[in-house]
């Protein structure tokens, strides 16, 4: 399973060039590199996981289509290009679902890569659930108040009788603990 990579600019440039040259494996690499990011962006912007999943396919197909045709002028800006395409398609969808342009389906390799992303998402959710069972009541409350109720560390500190610094530290530590667990478990598979 792939993890959020920090592919350097050189590798991304080479990816763009290889896709333009018709290298199918580069297209699969691009899906692995960006599908998670586009999915997260889609979920945050649309509040709909299913819509976000569909958007991942649409965005990646549009990007790959453009790269095949050599429409990306500056290969160094691949990440920004994917982001811009995702933003435009999400905005279009939010404006009107029925105005979405018809997209040709992904070919089987790419569709499989997208399905793998869906499985990873389910596995990630399972691991988060598992990690949260190990949290104390107060850590859960800090996460709930931060990530769901949207309170600032100072407000949480006042409500729980802690200092802002403690709230901040405990939140960061909890998120890191979960992220480490996910990284550890998912890198094994």
Partner 1 sequence: MNCEEVEERNILEGYLLDRLTEPEREEFEKHYFECGTCFSQLQTGLALQTELRRQPAMAARARGASLLRAWVWAPTFATIIILFSAGIWWNSAHNRPPSQQVPSPLKVSPNVRVQVQSTPAAPSLEELARVEPPPYSGVVLRGTEDEAHETFHTAMQFYEKGDYTKAIPGVRAAAKANPQSASFNFYLGVCYLLAGQTDPAIVSFRQTVSLGDPAYSESAHFYLAKAYLQKKEVARAKDELQKTVHFHGGLESEAAQILRQLGN
Cβ 70 to partner 1, closest distance in Å? 21
Number of residues that bind partner 1 (CB under 8 A): 49
**What is the rounded CA–CA span in Å between residue 48 and residue 65?**
25
- Distance of closest approach, residue 68 Cβ to partner 1, in angstroms: 21
Q: Pick the piece of the chain touching partner 1 (CB under 8 A) from 14-22, 57-65, 102-110, 138-146.
A: 138-146
C-alpha torsion angle, residues 144, 133, 135, 47 (rounded to 10) = -20
Selected from 13, 20, 32, 83, the binder of partner 1 by CB under 8 A is 83
Q: How far is the CB of 102 from partner 1 (least distance, A)?
A: 24
- Determine contact, residues 126/47, Cβ cutoff 8 Å: no
Tokens for 92, please give them. Answer: 């279009």
Stretch touching partner 1 by CB under 8 A, among 13-21, 64-72, 75-83, 111-119: 75-83
* Cβ(89)–Cβ(143) below 8 Å: no
CA dist 47 to 26, 44, 90, Å? 30, 6, 11
125 binds partner 1 per the rule CB under 8 A: yes
In the window 15-74, what residues touch partner 1 (CB under 8 A)?
34, 36-37, 40-41, 43-44, 47-49
For 50, residues 6+ apart whose C-beta sits below 8 A from its C-beta are none
Q: Which of 68, 132, 134, 187 binds partner 1 (CB under 8 A)?
A: 132
């Amino acid at each position: 399973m792939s993890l959020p990579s920090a592919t350097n600019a050189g590798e991304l440039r080479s990816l763009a060039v290889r896709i333009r040259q018709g290298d199918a494996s580069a297209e699969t690499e691009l899906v692995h590199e960006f599908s998670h990011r586009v999915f997260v962006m889609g979920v945050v912007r649309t509040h709909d996981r299913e819509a976000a999943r569909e958007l991942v396919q649409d965005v990646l197909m549009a990007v790959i289509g453009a790269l095949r045709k050599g429409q990306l002028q500056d290969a160094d800006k691949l990440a920004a290009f994917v982001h811009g395409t995702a933003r435009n398609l999400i905005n279009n969808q939010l404006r009107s679902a029925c105005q979405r342009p018809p997209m040709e389906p992904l070919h089987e390799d790419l569709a499989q890569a997208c399905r793998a992303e869906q499985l990873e998402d389910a596995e990630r959710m399972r691991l988060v659930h598992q990690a949260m069972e190990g949290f104390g009541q107060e850590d859960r409350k800090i996460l709930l108040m931060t990530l769901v109720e949207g309170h600032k560390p100072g407000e949480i500190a006042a409500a729980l009788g802690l200092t802002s610094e403690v709230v901040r530290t405990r939140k960061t530590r909890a998120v890191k603990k979960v992220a480490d667990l996910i990284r550890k478990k998912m890198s094994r598979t």
